[in-house]
Structure 1
């Protein structure tokens, strides 16, 4: 029997804590006070960790043009030891993390809590700051914060009010003109401005701050490390490298190249052709001829990414209850295409739409699992290892790639995909990560006899994932990802981007911790001289979402490595 159930956080206590947060965070959707340049609002405390959401006023230059007032603020989730100092400057270490592509601050919830907890057990008080990029200011969490699935669907898709507020709609390209300037230069400037506002003493930053990120966040950290922020390369107190005591990379590398991250950017997004050159791409973004935020026809756009958080609400609200979300959603082309893409066992099912996801009986947990688990969702950069289907016959999911094929493993991942086999049949439940391999596990296998999963491949608690997706004031996903941030990085050899690498020695100026997902995007592709810590069985998102105790009874390795790295004297 697996031993991880002793971790002390039951699904019931997680649900109660998460719903309490949802009931007390209505104020997070309101703009910060005009009289204050900084706000810090409690999210909750538990397990020795205190979480707050911090907003710091940092207006964009006038050249960016008209934008919502909320977009002149920078935000982050601050996790600290409840027994530690209230002042960040007095913490033993501060870890500041840049999110990956299409990712928000809420995605760091589990790894942040686990790291702060592990350090406190060793008598050290560290902080973890999970950054939101500026473009997340466009997101409206009102429906999610209601804590009720039906209310959320009605708010976002049917025009119904919540607490007197009506959803203004998903933001179109014509209203995103200001985002044409949100590239790598402004992104690292935002991190610098936030750090200097929160920790004004440069010697404290240089001694205590560890700078890093997940996925694309590793590349952003690379540019930060090499940047100069006062316009004078001869003065180095402002250099990016001198704001950090070390770097950390979570399923990524600290670099100024996207080369290591192939597979992290979906092939079917509306990303413009960078072969056009920097000037032409920028002109297209400025004029609106090119899309200013990254999206795809299915799944990866604001309308459908909102569904992930709504599924998380259902898993928190009633995890074992039979879901009605698939049938309650409005019928439109975008949602229908997304449902078919995610829940078709083969090409014929995708084309005909039958059987549809609403034809299967699923618990709310099983709905969330089907959207996020590596044996279900076909996009590798969205995969986590949260358990497996249970409760009835399971069959192979051979769409969009057949099980056992080698078609685009970087995009689809390498795990066999599974799907419930019987529509209008049994109630399909979800077997959480720490129950895979138990005596009552049916041990489902693919048609060729390959086991779909095993205990060593499952690492994330589905209820913790639900909390991260639905009970955080800052989103797990990034609905409006700036196109310019990716095009800048893909045009890294252009003079306009190359000039930003002022101090290239900054990339190697400090110790670097590289942590890789054993089954993730970079598996087997990182040079051995980086001495990476490999988390066996992990997928790309698991390095952020994994539970504190694993199925082998050992502490979670990513947060363990971060804690040790934060402890080591610089």
Structure 2
């Protein structure tokens, strides 16, 4: 998933520490930290939501007051120091496209816990971008508190208030005009300003902080490394690479190129950047070009929120059938279900049978949306198990199964992945349940096969616990997804040779100035590619793009999870 942009120059220290010695009340208003209560089985890790007031410049234009705060999820060892500057290491992570801080929950907890077992107290900071401030999590929180997904559906779709708050609706392009001015410059500036605010001593940052990210987050980290933050190329204490002791890349590379992410963004989702920087900028600011990456179905604010609702249902009542019957009918939901739950092209055209014709537990609904044997978009897939309870058929939509592995498809093949897709095949029939990742290959596994006799799933290809995936979507104050991903961020990166960008790219050696670890998914965006030795690559076999974030700490046969253990080892050693 990807990132965000700047209009320039924030003076963080004046706002947070204050040039005139602020009162305690003023300091309290500039930063908050709240413990996040949840049901993670890894109880040795403390999670807090941190919010720091770092306003956008006035030139960004009108925006909600909440968007003048930067937020992140902080994970630390319960037995370690409370103050971040006393931690042995701090890993700060940029999310990918359509991704928020909540997506890092599993890898953050697993890494912090593994480092503690090695005798080191590290922290993991999962960043939210500015655009995430536009999301309304009220219904999700209320549904979680009530243990009932219908509370959330009532809030988002039936006008029911939670307390004195009513849902204002999903925002169209006309209501997010300020995002046209939030791109690459603002995104890397936000990370820098946050680090300065939280760790004022530059030597501490340079000695303890590891900078990295997932997917597009690796590219953003690359730009952060080469960026000049004080406007004077002759000085380096402010350079991005000198805020980091090392780099980590999660199914991406630390680079300043989108080439490694080819296939991660669907065709037609982004405007034509052949216009040139000035015209694209003007098109975004005027609204001629879309200010967020969005489509009428499948990928937009509403569908991203639906993933959180599905996570909530699977978290509170995994074996119940509450979500599917209660889900409202509208063009966005119906079309998205039709795309994701059509067995073949004829089913898609006729709409029969529809997803609503099948009985599925809440866990099975979430699995159908995100598992790599059901979700056709590889960059939104995890390996979390498989359907159970009824007949399964090949899923030959949007592309016939035998074509997804055809190299002639080029980038499209990377977008669609190469896992065999399956789908329930008995409408108005049995209750379809979900077989979790660790029960694939168990003695009672029906071992579902494709029409060609291939197993849909094997133990070696299943790594993510669906219950923990559901928890990641439902329990965090900061979302797993990003509902309003700013187009300006990716067009800035695509037009990186424009003077408006190159004037900040002053320290190219920053990309190789620090040690790096590159942790790739075996079936991810860079599958099959050979990277130079300096990338220090470790491949996680069988993993999909999201699995590097979501994989369970204990794998088949009792093996420890490979990504988090390698990341902890790297952080401790370096």
Aligned to 1:426: 430
Aligned to 1:313: 312
Alignment of 1:344-493 (within 5 A): 344-405=342-403, 406=406, 407=409, 408-493=412-497
Alignment of 1:17-32 (within 5 A): none
Alignment of 1:147-226 (within 5 A): 147=144, 148-226=148-226
Q: How much has 1:33 moved relative to structure 2?
A: 9.2
Q: How much has 1:443 moved relative to structure 2?
A: 0.7
Cα separation, 2, equivalents of 1:358 and 1:234? 63
Cα separation, 2, equivalents of 1:219 and 1:553? 34
Aligned to 2:13: none
Consecutive unaligned residues in structure 2, runs of 5 or more? 1-24
Match status 1:553 vs 2:558: yes
Cα separation, 2, equivalents of 1:77 and 1:83? 18
3-state SS, counterpart of residue 556 of structure 2: coil
Q: How much has 1:160 moved relative to structure 2?
A: 1.3
RMSD (CA atoms): 1.3
Deviates further, 259-268 or 187-196: 259-268
Q: How much has 1:35 moved relative to structure 2?
A: 5.9
3-state SS, counterpart of residue 401 of structure 2: coil
Cα separation, 1, equivalents of 2:278 and 2:158? 41
Cα separation, 2, equivalents of 1:111 and 1:33? 35
Answer whether contact 1:268 1:296 (CA < 8 A) is retained: no
Cα separation, 2, equivalents of 1:551 and 1:296? 38
Q: How much has 1:286 moved relative to structure 2?
A: 1.0
Aligned to 1:63: 59
Cα separation, 1, equivalents of 2:433 and 2:382? 18
Aligned to 2:292: 293
Aligned to 1:83: 79
Answer whether contact 1:239 1:503 (CA < 8 A) is retained: yes
3-state SS, counterpart of residue 513 of structure 1: strand
Match status 1:505 vs 2:509: yes
Cα separation, 2, equivalents of 1:246 and 1:552? 32
Cα separation, 2, equivalents of 1:487 and 1:552? 45
Answer whether contact 1:180 1:484 (CA < 8 A) is retained: yes
Answer whether contact 1:50 1:82 (CA < 8 A) is retained: yes
Answer whether contact 1:44 1:50 (CA < 8 A) is retained: no
3-state SS, counterpart of residue 164 of structure 1: coil
Cα separation, 1, equivalents of 2:126 and 2:112? 13
Answer whether contact 1:223 1:500 (CA < 8 A) is retained: no
Q: How much has 1:528 moved relative to structure 2?
A: 4.1
Cα separation, 2, equivalents of 1:299 and 1:326? 17
Residue by residue, what CA displacement relative to the aligned partner does 1:22-43 show, whole Å, maximum 9, x if unpaired? xxxxxxxxxx999610000000
Q: How much has 1:288 moved relative to structure 2?
A: 1.2
The alignment covers a number of residue pairs equal to 536
Aligned to 1:37: 30
Aligned to 1:536: 541
Aligned to 2:117: 121
Answer whether contact 2:521 2:548 (CA < 8 A) is retained: yes
Cα separation, 2, equivalents of 1:312 and 1:164? 25
Q: How much has 1:486 moved relative to structure 2?
A: 0.6
Cα separation, 2, equivalents of 1:172 and 1:531? 43
Answer whether contact 1:381 1:540 (CA < 8 A) is retained: yes
Cα separation, 1, equivalents of 2:28 and 2:521? 44
Cα separation, 1, equivalents of 2:484 and 2:190? 17
Q: How much has 1:241 moved relative to structure 2?
A: 0.6
Consecutive unaligned residues in structure 1, runs of 5 or more? 1-31
Residue by residue, what CA displacement relative to the aligned partner does 1:219-260 show, whole Å, maximum 9, x if unpaired? 000000001111111111110010000000000000000000
Deviates further, 191-200 or 151-160: 151-160
Answer whether contact 1:92 1:208 (CA < 8 A) is retained: yes
Answer whether contact 1:119 1:563 (CA < 8 A) is retained: yes
Aligned with residue 517 of structure 1, among 521, 530, 538: 521
Q: How much has 1:500 moved relative to structure 2?
A: 2.4
Cα separation, 2, equivalents of 1:329 and 1:433? 26
